Amino acid sequence: MIQRRKTRQITIGDDQHGCVKIGGDAPVSVQTMTAGYTYDVDRCVAEIHKLAAAGADLVRVAVPERKDTQALHHIIPQVSVPIVADVHFHYERALEAIEAGVHKIRLNPGNISDRQQVLKVIDACKERRLPIRVGVNEGSIVERKDKQKRMKELGAVFSDNKHGHLMAIMIAKLEEYLDIFYERDFYDIVISAKSIDPMLVIDVYSEISKRFDHPLHLGVTHAGPKETGTIRSVVPLGSLLTRGIGDTLRISYANDPVYEVEDGLELLYVLGLRERRGAELIACPTCGRIQVDLFKLVQEVRKKLAEEIELPIKVAVMGCVVNGPGEAEGADVAIFAGDKRGIIYVQGERVANVPEEEILDRLLHECRVFQGRVQSGQAKLGQKVVEIIPPDPIGELGSGFDKIAAGKVEKLTPLTISQS
């Protein structure tokens, strides 16, 4: 079990939008950012609904212009998750967003640095008890000409670290900026220090976690397309989270932000940092034994499970009966494909043997029935009732399915196969 680092706790939201706690003993929350224009009210509302349905705890919106902060007056009453305004360059946007009822402000010390302006935002947030994220980004920590000078000045601080100069600048910038907040006795702060370099992300958050007790927002900025951004994000975030560092996170992809939410949640599920919502899908990678279109089936099953199953039912989709039973052990509902057919088990008991074209519907039917039994107390998740003994994968057995279907394989006893 992961021991979480102790941090201060802040609360974001209200009765209509729900209250999300970040830090302390609160579960690690998942956030994302809308990809469309905030001033396009209907589309923005629709996107926020979609992200909330995917499981986002908070949604951030960009407010580069006054028309974006004005749109917040119409957006916020229509949505059901707390909204964060992402403010860059113009402190007035922060004041306007606060006026419009936003639940949290994100400031970037790299582009709003005037002390008086920052104090105005702090005072407005303090009056409405709104938290602020101080988000330092490697790419915008200081002006470029200043960066060279400060790299020389501060590089010695972490001289044994490959990114020492950048870490030093990011931490120094945070310290300087946070002093403005402390001057006003303002501590409802979340901090972040993102970079595109995953190793710098690990190093800088490790260092920050020793220096500040504010909750940490983890992220790799501009991680790229989902195909490569997943590894770029999950490696550093997973590394930090397993060490108890991190209270909220955003995964950033050049893709639909729904993927950011799904992958952020999955990361927390596999680390045991959040209770799973919805089904857990296990699937085999396929090999030369495969006799159905498993990749297509897995994608269809994934989509349908997300739409129809609320409980964390473990579902296994396996390409054959050779390794499948062992690998699907512990699954509540499992399908083992064979020669254009599939055998379906519910908690180890065979319930169906259907042609390939019926696998999806029958599997979902069994998942729905099983979910109903769990909800009515007739079954329990993770309770396997029949041992599935896999056949010997070596020798004349091959994929084994035809022999199993014909009842010739003794080792599957007592699970002899018959048409359902």
Number of C-beta neighbours around residue 387 at 10 A: 10
Smaller CB distance to ligand SF4: residue 59 or 292?
292
In the complex, minimum distance from the CB of residue 287 to ligand SF4, in angstroms, rounded to a whole number: 3
Q: Are 118 and 107 in contact (CB under 8 A)?
A: yes
Smaller CB distance to ligand SF4: residue 125 or 322?
322
In the complex, minimum distance from the CB of residue 72 to ligand SF4, in angstroms, rounded to a whole number: 50
Q: Which is nearest to 132 in space by CA: 45, 241, 22, 49? A: 22
Question: Using CB atoms within 10 A of its CB, is residue 278 exposed (0-12), middle (13-18) or buried (19+)?
Answer: middle
In the complex, minimum distance from the CB of residue 308 to ligand SF4, in angstroms, rounded to a whole number: 25
By beta carbon distance, the residue nearest ligand SF4 is 319
- Which residue shows structure tokens 């305004």? 85
Smaller CB distance to ligand SF4: residue 105 or 317?
317
Q: Which amino acid, residue 267? A: L
Q: CA 33, CA 38: separation in Å to the nearest integer? A: 11
Smaller CB distance to ligand SF4: residue 117 or 286?
286
Smaller CB distance to ligand SF4: residue 258 or 320?
320
3-state percent helix, strand, coil for the chain, nearest multiple of 5: 45, 15, 40
Smaller CB distance to ligand SF4: residue 53 or 287?
287
In the complex, minimum distance from the CB of residue 322 to ligand SF4, in angstroms, rounded to a whole number: 5
In the complex, minimum distance from the CB of residue 279 to ligand SF4, in angstroms, rounded to a whole number: 19
- Which residue shows structure tokens 């000045």? 153
Q: Which is nearest to 287 in space by CA: 236, 247, 251, 323? A: 323
In the complex, minimum distance from the CB of residue 350 to ligand SF4, in angstroms, rounded to a whole number: 17
Smaller CB distance to ligand SF4: residue 229 or 324?
324
Smaller CB distance to ligand SF4: residue 52 or 417?
417
Q: Which is nearest to 30 in space by CA: 255, 214, 263? A: 263
Q: CA 185, CA 191: separation in Å to the nearest integer? A: 16
In the numeric block, which tokens belong to residue 225?
């397309």
Smaller CB distance to ligand SF4: residue 245 or 297?
297
Residues 6 or more apart whose CB falls under 8 angstroms from that of 351 comprise 344, 345, 366, 420
Q: CA 294, CA 319: separation in Å to the nearest integer? A: 7
In the complex, minimum distance from the CB of residue 402 to ligand SF4, in angstroms, rounded to a whole number: 14
In the complex, minimum distance from the CB of residue 359 to ligand SF4, in angstroms, rounded to a whole number: 14
In the complex, minimum distance from the CB of residue 332 to ligand SF4, in angstroms, rounded to a whole number: 18
Q: Which is nearest to 327 in space by CA: 282, 290, 287, 364? A: 282
Residues at the interface with ligand SF4 (CB under 6 A): 284-287, 289-290, 318-320, 322-324
In the numeric block, which tokens belong to residue 204?
């800088």
Smaller CB distance to ligand SF4: residue 81 or 321?
321
Instruction: Supply the DSSP string of 195-224, one letter for each residue.
Output: -S-HHHHHHHHHHHHHH--S-BEE--TT--
Number of C-beta neighbours around residue 30 at 10 A: 25
Q: CA 379, CA 360: separation in Å to the nearest integer? A: 22
In the complex, minimum distance from the CB of residue 337 to ligand SF4, in angstroms, rounded to a whole number: 8
Phi, psi (5° rounding) for residue 343? -105, 130
